[in-house]
Amino acid sequence: MKNILIFATLLIFSSINGVSAQVVTPSLDPTNPVEIAAAASWRFGSTIGGGGKWGTQKSDGDQLDSSTQSDLSDMAFVNSSYIFAYQPTTVTFEISGVVNETDYQWDGSDSTSDSLTEYEKNETNLKLAIRGNNQVSVGIEFQSENYKDASTDSKLTAYGGSFGMRFLDSIFISGGLNRKTLKADEFESDLKWQEVIGGVAFQFGSPDQNMFKIEGAIKIEDKAKVNLSNSALYYYRPKITTTQGSIETILGGYLLSYRYRKILFEAIDDIALDRDREETRNRIGLGYRPTVLTMVLYGETRIEMEDSNKYETQYLGFNVSFSFM
């Protein structure tokens, strides 16, 4: 029963939290999207770009489930991404997405083996922000994500609004609220919940010369449940808390970055013996941003923990973008 009610939840929603987005102000790598719409107002002009991501997975005991469809010890293509941000005046429009992501989700509830499920994901994000007097920003957004694994097709949609404020030219704060809906054939009705997000950033300098940025943010997603079709069982979604911090700098045209992210999936009280699950991500980036062209290479490690069980995924990514206006 636990595999039916919990594992599918973690499969879908841990991948949602894996977006390489900034909350308060845009990344110094303009290829990275913003997570809430209001942050788009603080972009330095318009951008078009994309990237690719590769990954490899391993466990402490190398206990891989026989249902995996490839050799996970080899580096394999995970996804491609795109972004177009247009900022003609005080209005900023941003569209970004992930195309044909293929990855594996780990279930560590069994201490004797690692259960891996392959999934596919496509994601589209639309954001619109308006800036006032270069000190206040408000935004609205729409998100659509489609998931597929061997047994389930599901679709997530989200609508939300956000705000941002700027103080003393270098201090930024932001906050947002999203309403999310998950549809699946296995559900008797739609699963709905809220997401609250906020953060603060300090930013100095100009991307055309030298620049430094530090940011911290937190995101809290409500727990929820829904009846399964033609069954007395429930589909449970745990409360998820994400905290992250990042540091970025541009020195002499070279871009350096580091981001830490921790995701906590809280145990569900209604399920006996359920345990907290924790995921941590550490990502470093090295790139070149001379003027309008930006190229960045990323290395990322994701470690998932459930009780004493541990699973690790390593990623390599590359972004390239062209800035204008």
Q: What is the pLDDT of residue 217?
A: 97
Q: What is the pLDDT of residue 186?
A: 86
Please report, in tens digits, the pLDDT of each residue of the chain (325 residues total): 444 444 444 444 444 444 567 899 999 999 999 999 999 999 999 999 999 999 887 655 444 443 443 445 566 778 899 999 999 999 999 999 999 888 777 666 555 555 677 788 999 999 999 999 999 999 999 999 998 877 778 999 999 999 999 999 999 999 999 999 999 888 889 999 999 999 999 999 988 889 999 999 999 999 999 988 888 888 889 999 999 999 999 999 999 999 999 999 998 887 776 788 899 999 999 999 988 999 999 999 999 888 777 888 889 999 999 999 7
DSSP per-residue codes, 185-205: TTBSS-EEEEEEEEEEEEEEE
Domain ranges of the chain: 2-324
24 CB-contact burial (10 Å; exposed 0-12 / middle 13-18 / buried 19+) = buried
Q: Taking the model in full, what pTM does it have?
A: 0.85
The region, left, alpha or beta by phi > 0 then psi within -120 to 50, assigned to residue 86 is beta
Q: What is the pLDDT of residue 75?
A: 62
For 2-324, CATH gives 2.40.160.60
Q: What is the pLDDT of residue 230?
A: 83
Q: What is the pLDDT of residue 269?
A: 80
